[in-house]
Structure 1
Amino acid sequence: MALRPFFLSILGLLVLPLAASAQSLGDVGTFSITASPQYPRPFEQVTITPLSGQLDITNATMTVTVNKKQTYKGNAAPVGVPVGAVGTLTTVTVTLTSNGTSSTRSLSFRPQDLSLIVEPLASTPVLYPGKPAVPLGGSVRIVAVADLRSTSGKALDPSQLSYNWTVDEARLSVDSGIGRDTILVASPAQYRSRTVSLIVTSQDGSAVSGNSLTLTDESPVVRVYERDPLLGILFDRAIVNTFSIPSAEKTLFVAPYALPSNGTSPRLQWFLNGSAAQTGPVITLRPTGTGGGSASLSIVASVGDSATATANLSLTFGAPKGGLGIFGL
């Protein structure tokens, strides 16, 4: 199932059966038809497929009309037909003719608009322009934005619509109901996925729309950046593996990504040469003595006992002794 990156805007479609229903339009005598997808976007094409019943469709001629305008005539086969704008009615009629016998089935579509906004509760730096990833061991808030129209085209109040949430095919009765447009979902287990589905209907059942999405989590990471005294934090380049300290001091800043942030901030612990140095997002390194040297620096970001991320750096500082003669002597 295709997903849109972190903001999902999938528009639903109301299928009004004239001689059948939408998901499985049923055998109504000589042949049946199905429509896919069940909830396409307005102006999207719906695939109409004839299914064999008493009529031999392999030797039949199929005619398709959309709002009384013929759009297809030929062999019986799946055919794409366009639907209209949000709240407008589109009527599709399918006629099969075989051995001089004709049979007709019709469907009506009234598109509705349903968007899902995914809000992972995960750590990011302040003023981070991107969207957090789904955190391992955390949770995700999903907000539904519904724009359903009545048969007269009037917009229906979203707070008066009925929201039916399903997670991994299990209906969430406690989180469903009138006006329940927000849900908090636990992140899937590592290397797994989680499917969230929603059906929104008007209280009289005249308007309906649906949407679903799949959540996959990402392992947390930490990134280390240099904090320049004049330019601030240099977010355009993360420090990886090695870092040189040619001057008297350097200040580093750490940013955790995709750690759960359910009301708590990640704990940030720095280690210098394997020993705990300090906590917090910033550390200032000041080499002492003369000559050059090296050290190891690590940062561990954690939330509770389950979610952790680590970054390790090899530090070099100062300048080695020696002249510019042969062999560096």
Structure 2
Amino acid sequence: MVLKHLVGKTLLVLVLTALCSVSSTSAHAQLLGGNANPLILITIPAYPRPNSDVTVEVRSTSVEIDVSDIGWLEDGELSESGLGKTSHRTHVGDKGSSQTVTAIVHTPEGRTYEQTILIRPQSISLIWESSSSVPPFYRGKALYTSTNPLTITAIPEIFDELGEPISASQLSFIWKLNNKTLSNKSGYGKSSLSLTEPILRTPATISVTVQSRDGLSVTTGSLSIDQSQPLVLIYENSPLYGILFNQAILNTFTLRGTEAGVEAFPYFFSGMRQKLGFSWNVNGRDIEGLSSSYITLRNTTGQSGTATAFISITNPSSSFESAGNGFNINITQPEQ
């Protein structure tokens, strides 16, 4: 039925060249003769990624599209058609590619309308990093705490109409924190966002909209960052093997010889380790004069028994930063 309406008619054709990242509602289209085109095409998602499935919907406030015959064309070739077929699913290509999707609507009154959208997939990656402290050989990510600076870097892959990549210096970056635009940190070439003030509401949503100078190539990305707390982990410091980072002391440490050394390491503090304050407590008593991250545990009686140890770490530069950790000591009688 649709094909009969489409073939043999002189259609008023208007092509709306909107990028994948710009919905057709943000552009203007006109039919030949000066009348406004009543059709609007949108993509879901609004910012398609390369090699992904995209749904294109046709909408109208003045045309009864639900009872109209609708044909869908991809790059000028008929893909599907049907009565009230208001959406079409397609697969977009790799980065730098583009394709057109056209909706042709034939109403019961015999009127025909056409609208086309250009889909140009773009992509973006966001990477965040915190400058919080971590021990040597730590293979994980330094987590964000409220007193640590936070840096987010956007790596866009945006292409022009010729399929050529656009340099980041030629792109506009609009940054938002919890949906609030950071005007003083946005602008051309500002692909990196640095946050030095504490984020009061977490998890924080940080988003960026990136577009070309002509506004035709656009993409967006976002990430959520939760706030962590500083913590302390304690490791045995072996005279033979050094610090045993492969096994933290979690609950109990067994003192098998006459003495053993343990060392505390702060995680996710804003201050350097050398500038932090360390305070040890053994069996409920503070160890006077010991302000080091290292402590030597000794069996002075030569007998078996138990003890407890606890360390507190504070940051003199920030009253908000402190953490502690403790463990039980299982003392065994040294071998004779």
CA contact 2:96–2:121 (8 Å) conserved in 1: yes
Alignment of 1:5-16 (within 5 A): 16=17
Q: Which residue in the other structure is 1:110 paired with?
A: 120
Alignment of 1:279-294 (within 5 A): 279-294=291-306
Alignment of 1:31-46 (within 5 A): 31-46=39-54
Q: Which residue in the other structure is 1:4 paired with?
A: none
1:297: how far off? 0.9
CA contact 2:22–2:47 (8 Å) conserved in 1: no
CA distance in 1, matches of 2:111, 2:199: 54
Alignment of 1:32-181 (within 5 A): 32-74=40-82, 75-99=84-108, 101-181=111-191
CA contact 2:257–2:333 (8 Å) conserved in 1: no
**Aligned alpha-carbon RMSD (Å):** 3.0
One-letter code aligned to 1:165: W
CA distance in 1, matches of 2:286, 2:273: 29
Q: Which protein has the larger Cα radius of gyration, Structure 1 or Structure 2?
A: 2
One-letter code aligned to 1:210: T
1:275: how far off? 0.3
1:260: how far off? 3.0
- Return 5+ residue gaps in structure 1 as ranges: 1-14, 321-329
Match 1:302 to one of 314, 319, 336 = 314
User: CA-to-partner distance for each residue in 1:35-75, whole Å, 9 max, x for gaps?
Assistant: 22222311122222333522333334443322224444345
CA contact 1:57–1:96 (8 Å) conserved in 2: yes
Q: Do residues 247 (structure 1) and 248 (structure 2) align?
A: no
CA contact 1:142–1:184 (8 Å) conserved in 2: yes
CA distance in 1, matches of 2:274, 2:215: 42
1:108: how far off? 0.8
User: CA-to-partner distance for each residue in 1:24-45, whole Å, 9 max, x for gaps?
Assistant: 4689654433222222311122
Alignment of 1:146-295 (within 5 A): 146-185=156-195, 186-189=197-200, 192-261=202-271, 266-273=276-283, 274-276=285-287, 278-295=290-307
Q: How many residues align?
A: 304
One-letter code aligned to 2:236: E
Tell me the TM-score normalized by structure 1.
0.80
Q: 1:174 is paired with a residue of what secondary structure?
A: helix
Q: 1:276 and 1:189, CA in 2 relative to 1: closer, same or farther beyond 3 A?
A: farther
CA distance in 2, matches of 1:79, 1:309: 56
1:131: how far off? 1.2
User: CA-to-partner distance for each residue in 1:286-306, whole Å, 9 max, x for gaps?
Assistant: 221231232221122333210
CA contact 1:16–1:22 (8 Å) conserved in 2: no
Tell me the TM-score normalized by structure 2.
0.78
Q: 2:185 is paired with a residue of what secondary structure?
A: coil
CA contact 2:17–2:116 (8 Å) conserved in 1: no
Q: 1:305 is paired with a residue of what secondary structure?
A: strand
CA distance in 1, matches of 2:271, 2:120: 41
CA distance in 1, matches of 2:192, 2:205: 16
CA distance in 1, matches of 2:313, 2:56: 53
- Fraction of identical pairs, as percent: 27
